[in-house]
Chain A
Amino acid sequence: MPHHTTSQPRPRQAIGICLAVVAWTCPPLTAQSLTQIIDREIGQHADGPVSERCDDGEFLRRVFLDLGGRIPTSAEARTFLDDRGEHKRTQLIDRLLASSDYPRRLQQFLTTTLLERRTDSKVTDAEWTGYLRETVAANKPWNELVTQLLFSEPREDKSLPPQARFFLVSGRADQHQKTRDIGRLFLGRDLMCAQCHNHPTIDDYLQADYFGLLSYLQDSPAKARTEFESVFNPGKKDTGPRLPGGQEVNIPKFEKGQEQEALKHRPRLLLASSLPRAENPLFVRNSVNRFWCLLMGRGLVHPLDMHHANNPASHPKLLDALAAHFSARKFDVRDLLRQITLSAAYQRSSRLPAGASEADVPPQSYRTAITKPLSPEQMGWAVMQATGNLQRLAAAKPTEKSSFTYKDYINGRIDGVPETLEDTIKLFVGVFGNPPGEPEVVFNPAMGHALFLMNEPLILNWLEPRPGNLMHRITQLKDQDKLVEELYLSVLTRRPTPQELEETAKYLQRFSEHRNSALHNLAWSLLASAEFRGNH
């Protein structure tokens, strides 16, 4: 298939506007839904064996994790699996998007994506997470959120609005880190290599782009012009604020007495009003690419911050369609996620097609669903839910300012185990999270994760019978098959196969003298399995 070459912004812009107009004004008969376009484009480029539709168990777990950030209870699982309704999948998607889990899930995803585990103590965690959850719950348009993150008017009382955290986190005081992160996170371009010279291998990434962006991040209009020089081609140049592919902004000089006028030309204010717009294709494409990756496990452009002519999208027309749709729908995130989850591409199984090997289904073909790693937060919620300890921990009163830190915990400076949901999640983030500044996109199993699940007293404690939790429930069940079913539904969100039932029966028979230990081991082995660790 011929790849799209990057064209100039103007014709693309014009096409985008036309498409948007068409989408709004034409009746459904002539315009395909985004869902249909997704399946058409993925299908047309399949060129090989394709996995079948995922079964209900796969779908249930996947969509609960993706949209709710957790796994279902065994009761929720049973209800869904036994439902004979024709539209149950669509209804589940809509239910999750309307639930209180969705804002929390998106807030966790956005925090990790936008802050990359960098920390700040000036804005409280509660303020930041509350701000994002409200944003998601209200389905605030994505471009509005980005606008606020890029610039917020200082308050009268000098207090910090929650969105200020974006620039306050560790490392982002440095103007180069700021420039790089804005480029990566909002434009899909890692311009780091273009700081000292034009990018050595990517023609699209110019040093002028880097400094154009850096100029936008200066504090005052007077500083908004930056000088630069390539280490390869001597000769000083300078630039005012300019977005890659965009026009340079000319900020006039302001004299004394013109303070009011100068305020209107604060570079970051200008950045906030020009970057997150439908007219900026880099912004739109990067945005839809990241949301696509959230659900599908891989960006259409991958890596996510490497959009350029020599790294085209795996499905260029699809990326265009996603971008056009997102713009036309005024950056409605909930709608975008809904359209993707309704597609057959999303609902494909992660089981290989019959007779096919791993090599036959490269990830970018989407012929087989990509297994996504559970984020540290998802892992925490899933382990708590699976072991039936979530309710208890969620009910524990959150402390005003917990002194629990992961670092103290692993260095043995904290007695006991975390006792609130918040602290528990801090522990999981510490164990499973990446160092600050490293995106969490790929699956990186580490020895420390395994040691944690094997030997952490908290985990083993959760697997001790306690009123209301999993082990308590299953130790009460006399019918063996019912017991195993409850276990599998609770931990793996599916029913056991006949073979699994048989083997488990044999195993429990063998250890009938130590039934409770045997059950504990069984539960642990499911929790420690690859099937649990991945979102497949």
Chain B
Amino acid sequence: MVPVTSHPDNQTQINDSRQRTHETSLMSHDPHACHGPEHSWSRRRVLGALGGGAASAAIGISNLLQPACAAPMRRKNKQVLFIWLDGGMSQLESWDPKPNTAFGGPFRAIPTAINGVHFSELVPETARRADKLALIRCMSTQDENHSSGVPRIQRGDPKNRGVTYPFLGSALAKLKPPENDLPPYVWIKPGSGGFIWQDAGFLGAKFGSLALGDGKPPIHINRPDSITDALEQARQDLRRKQNQRFRKTRRSSEVDAYDTSYEMALQLMKRHDLFDDSLLSPRDVERYGTHPLGRHLLQARRLLEAGVQFVKVNSYHWDTHGDNFNMHLDLVPQIDKPFAAMIDDLDDRGLLDNVLVVLMSEFGRTPKINSRLGRDHWPEAWSVMLAGSGLQRGMVLGGTTDNGAWCKDEAFDIGHLFHTVFRCVGIDPEKTEYDNDGQPLPIAHDDCGPIQQIMI
């Protein structure tokens, strides 16, 4: 399928390259450094130096020593699956169809497992599971650009306080340090992997995401065949003994930090089964589908089952400015099938009460169909699909006007969504704040509150 690119005549979307990654979008478009990531780091250092932090700054072992959160915030087992369809999936071709209207397009609507609620015919599998889901049809947000919109949304669209807020996965890694030794924030994506420190914003590089390119594990996670279990045991024992001896007469915190990095590595290596595709059942492979999004969601399920706290899965190329209907005909089943399988699997495993599932894009698409049979960006009224921890099941909140262009009654912004997400995983944004080296910062937009209607 030939990807559609922005038509040169269409001036409003010109700046957005199809090859953008969220890393490049970090380059601040704001003229002032107050909005850049560096602003926050230097603030932290300044305030740290004044607070007598100079001594501890010399020994940077904080990498591995996570500060404890207040007990009320910690809940066992809450996890998040964050599915990001980059480019803007059309709500009209998925969750909020308007058949037989001026802007409805060629597809029909089908009934769902929720009485009276219809989805697009392109999502039959998800429609059958609608009674387990919570859908918001009245999102109305600020940013119509990919490059600024994507990170802005994933950072919770906070008020501008001159700091770069962390992506949701980094935020949770900090606010809810996981109780296992697995990486707290894993990002399964097409393309290359690596450690994406930029996601962490002012929290500091260590809260970044561990990106798995095409879902594959970090290159050094597998022990070479030449090293048997016995050899591994032997060499680690020797190493530990060396360190014990060395530590007796020296400053211990650095030795301890170094030791811990090995123990964490060994823990991760034990879970190489999580990436061993030969362990997958053919049935699962078939249910999720063999295209990348399906495979990546199946990989995500394995990580969630293992206890990874936050898994993000990205799919690209949803930006259908041209040939919208053919493209959605092709793309939407790629999410419909594995998403439905995921809901089934989480529910079967008793995980749906503990895992919060978020399925969204950076905005929706225009009801108006343009001259290339495409739909353009439309943040004014769009949908976000949710499920799981803390949420009602079989719930549809809000609606759009008959032609789909505007939210009818209430409307919610990203700030509301983040308030909701935090509460659903057991964090109270009223009682919790970031401490950016003495600068208190709200974890979600201060002018917003949770969307109570969809919460239990």
Given the known A-B contacts A352-B250, A435-B205, A525-B238, are A454 and B223 also in contact in the complex, defined by CB atoms under 8 Å? Answer: yes
**Top 10 closest A-B pairs, CB basis?**
A442-B60, A525-B238, A451-B220, A450-B265, A529-B242, A445-B261, A521-B235, A455-B220, A525-B239, A530-B255
A443 touching B61, Cβ below 8 Å:
yes
Q: Is A75 an interface residue (CB 8 A)?
A: no
**Bound Cα distance A81, B43 (Å):** 47
CB distance from B269 to the nearest CB of A (A): 7
User: What are 30 A-B pairs with beta-carbon distances under 8 A?
Assistant: A176-B36, A177-B38, A193-B46, A196-B34, A297-B58, A302-B58, A303-B54, A311-B54, A363-B58, A371-B254, A410-B218, A410-B219, A411-B194, A438-B205, A444-B63, A445-B258, A445-B261, A447-B261, A451-B221, A454-B220, A454-B262, A455-B223, A503-B241, A507-B238, A518-B234, A521-B238, A524-B235, A525-B239, A528-B239, A530-B246
For the complex, what is the distance from the CA of A158 to the CA of B377, rounded to whole Å? Answer: 45
Q: Whole-angstrom distance between the alpha carbons of A358 and B61 in the complex?
A: 15
Q: Is the CB of A533 within 8 A of B268?
A: no
Cβ of B224 < 8 Å from any Cβ of A?
Answer: yes
> CB-CB < 8 A to B231: which residues of A?
517, 521
Q: How distant is the Cα of A311 from the Cα of B45 in the complex, in angstroms?
A: 12
Chain B: which residue is nearest A411 at the CB level? B192
Q: A352-B251, A525-B239 known; A298 and B61 CB under 8 Å?
A: no
- CB–CB A303/B258 < 8 A: no
A-contacting residues, B220-268, CB 8 Å? 220-224, 226-227, 231, 234-235, 238-239, 241-243, 245-247, 249-255, 257-262, 264-265, 268
Question: When each residue 506-526 of chain A gets 1 if its CB lies under 8 Å from chain B and 0 otherwise, what string results?
Answer: 010001000001100110111
- List B contacts of A522 (CB < 8 A): 238
State whether A201 touches B47 (Cβ < 8 A). Answer: yes
Which bucket holds chain B's interface residue count?
35 or more
Any A CB within 8 A of the CB of B17: no
Q: Which residue of chain B lies nearest to A370 when distances are taken between CB atoms in the complex?
A: B58
Q: B368 in the interface, Cβ–Cβ < 8 Å?
A: no
B227 touches which one: A231, A298, A460, A529 (CB < 8 A)? A460
In the complex formed, the residue of B with least CB distance to A202 is B46
Cα-based distance from A422 to B382 in the complex (angstroms): 52
Asked if A530 contacts B205 (CB within 8 A), the reply is: no
Q: Are B194 and A407 in contact (CB under 8 A)?
A: yes
Known: A445-B61, A450-B264, A457-B224. A371 touches B251 (CB 8 A): yes
Taking the nearest CB of chain B, how far is it from the CB of A370, in angstroms? 7
Q: A411-B193, A451-B218, A525-B238 are in contact. Are A302 and B243 (CB under 8 A)?
A: no
- Closest Cβ of chain A to B435, distance in Å, is 15
Asked if B279 CB lies within 8 Å of chain A CBs, one says no
Q: How far is the CB of B436 from chain A (nearest CB, A)?
A: 12
Interface pair A190/B46, CB less than 8 Å apart? yes
Task: Tell whether, in the assembled complex, residue B224 and residue A455 are in contact, meaning their CB atoms are under 8 Å apart.
Answer: yes
Look across to chain A and name the residue whose beta carbon is closest to the beta carbon of B191. Answer: A411
CB B42 to nearest CB in A, in angstroms, measures: 4
The yes or no answer to A266 lying at the interface (CB within 8 A) is: no
**Tally of A-B Cβ pairs under 8 angstroms:** 194
- Residues of chain A within 8 A of B22, CB atoms compared: none
Contact A195 B33 (CB under 8 A): yes
The reply to whether the CB of B68 lies closer than 8 angstroms to some CB of chain A is no
A4 near B: Cβ within 8 Å? no
Size range of the chain A interface in the assembly: 35 or more
Please state if A350 and B250 are interface contacts (CB–CB under 8 Å).
Answer: yes
Which A residues, 209 to 254, have Cβ-Cβ distances below 8 Å to chain B? 231
Q: How far is the CB of B50 from chain A (nearest CB, A)?
A: 6
Kindly identify which residue among A180, A201, A351, A441 contacts B38, using a CB–CB cutoff of 8 Å.
A180
Contact B255 A192 (CB under 8 A): no
Query: For residue B223, which residue of chain A has the nearest CB?
Result: A455
**A180-B38, A358-B251, A410-B194 as given contacts; A442 in contact with B57, CB under 8 Å:** yes
Alpha-carbon distance between A362 and B253 when the two chains are bound, in angstroms: 12
Asked if residues A302 and B50 are in contact (CB atoms below 8 Å), the reply is no
Complex contact A525–B33 (CB within 8 A): no
Bound together, the chains give a CA A177 to CA B194 distance in angstroms of 25
Q: Most chain-A Cβ atoms within 10 A of its Cβ — which of B192, B213, B238, B260?
A: B238
- Chain B residues with CB under 8 Å of chain A are 32-34, 36, 38-39, 42-43, 45-47, 49-50, 54-55, 57-61, 63-64, 162, 192-195, 197-198, 205-206, 213, 216, 218-224, 226-227, 231, 234-235, 238-239, 241-243, 245-247, 249-255, 257-262, 264-265, 268-269
Once the chains bind, are A448 and B195 in contact (CB under 8 Å)? Answer: yes
List 7 other contacts, CB 8 Å, given A411-B213, A442-B57, A452-B220: A177-B38, A190-B45, A199-B46, A407-B192, A454-B265, A518-B234, A522-B238
Of all chain B residues, the one with the shortest Cβ separation from A527 is B239
Q: Complex Cα distance A451/B261, Å?
A: 9
Chain A residues with CB under 8 A of B226: 460
Chain B residues positioned under 8 Å from A536 (CB to CB): 250
Contact yes or no, A448 B59, CB < 8 A: no
| Interchain CA distance A110-B4 in the complex, whole Å | 47
Tell me, rounded to whole Å, the shortest Cβ–Cβ distance linking B208 to chain A: 9
Cα separation A447 to B262 with both chains bound (whole Å): 6
Residues of the B chain whose Cβ atoms lie less than 8 Å from the Cβ of A446: 63, 206, 261
A513 to B418, CA, bound (A): 61
Closest CB in chain A relative to B189 CB, distance in Å: 12
Minimum C-beta distance from B160 to chain A (A): 11
Instruction: Looking at the assembled complex, report how far the CB atom of B226 sits from the nearest CB atom of chain A, in whole angstroms.
Output: 7
The answer to whether A302 touches B57 (Cβ under 8 A) is yes
User: A528 and B222: CB pair below 8 A?
Assistant: no
Within 426-468 of A, Cβ neighbours of B (below 8 Å) are at 434-435, 437-438, 441-452, 454-457, 460
**Could you tell me the distance between the alpha carbons of A445 and B261 in the complex, rounded to whole angstroms?**
6
Known: A190-B42, A454-B265, A530-B247. A443 touches B223 (CB 8 A): no
Residues of chain B within 8 A of A528, CB atoms compared: 235, 239, 262
**Residue A85 is within 8 A (CB to CB) of chain B in the complex:** no
User: How far is B250's CA from A507's CA once the two chains are assembled, in angstroms?
Assistant: 25
Closest Cβ of chain A: how far from B158's Cβ, in Å? Answer: 18
- The digit string for A168-196, where 1 denotes a CB below 8 A from any CB of B, is 00000000110010000000001011011
Q: Which of B192, B216, B239, B249 contacts A351 (CB 8 A)?
A: B249
- Bound-complex Cα distance A363 to B261 (A): 23
Known contacts A190-B42, A358-B252, A442-B59; A525 and B235 CB within 8 A of each other? yes
In the assembly, what is the distance between CA of A434 and CA of B208, in Å? 13
A310 at interface, CB cutoff 8 A: yes
Which chain A residues lie closer than 8 Å to B55 at the CB level? 362-364
CA of A437 to CA of B234, assembled, Å: 39
Q: How far is the CA of A190 from the CA of B41 in the complex (A)?
A: 11
Would you give the shortest CB distance from B45 to chain A, in whole angstroms? 5
**Contact between chains at A511 and B234 (CB < 8 Å):** yes
* A192 nearest CB neighbor, chain B only: B42
Q: Name the distance in Å between B53's Cβ and chain A's nearest Cβ.
A: 9
Q: What's the Cα separation between A455 and B270 when bound, in Å?
A: 13
The answer to the question of A345 belonging to the interface, with a C-beta cut-off of 8 Å to chain B, is no
* Contacting pair A443 B42 (CB below 8 A): no
A455–B222 CB distance below 8 A: yes
Known A-B contacts A407-B194, A411-B192; the reply to A196 vs B253 at CB < 8 A is no
Residues of A contacting B254 in the complex (Cβ-Cβ under 8 angstroms) = 371, 443, 530, 534
Partner of B257, one of A443, A460, A517: A443
Q: B265's contact among A363, A410, A447, by CB below 8 Å, is which? A: A447
Q: Looking at A192, A297, A306, A412, which has the most chain B CB atoms within 10 Å of its CB?
A: A192
CB-CB under 8 A for A180 and B33, given A311-B49, A411-B193: yes
Asked if A76 is at the interface (CB within 8 A of a chain B CB), the reply is: no
A364 CA to B246 CA, complexed, in Å: 22
Q: With the chains together, A351 CA to B243 CA distance in Å?
A: 14
Interface centre among A298, A410, A454, A521 (most CB of B within 10 A): A454
Alpha-carbon distance A530/B247, docked complex (angstroms): 9
CA distance A213 to B64 in the complex (A): 38
- Say yes or no: A443-B224 contact (C-beta < 8 A), given A190-B46, A371-B251, A411-B192: no
Residue in contact with A303 in the complex, picked from B57, B235, B250, CB distance below 8 Å: B57
Contact call B54/A530, Cβ cutoff below 8 A = no
A193-B42, A193-B43, A454-B223 given as contacts; is B235 within 8 A of A445 (CB)?
no
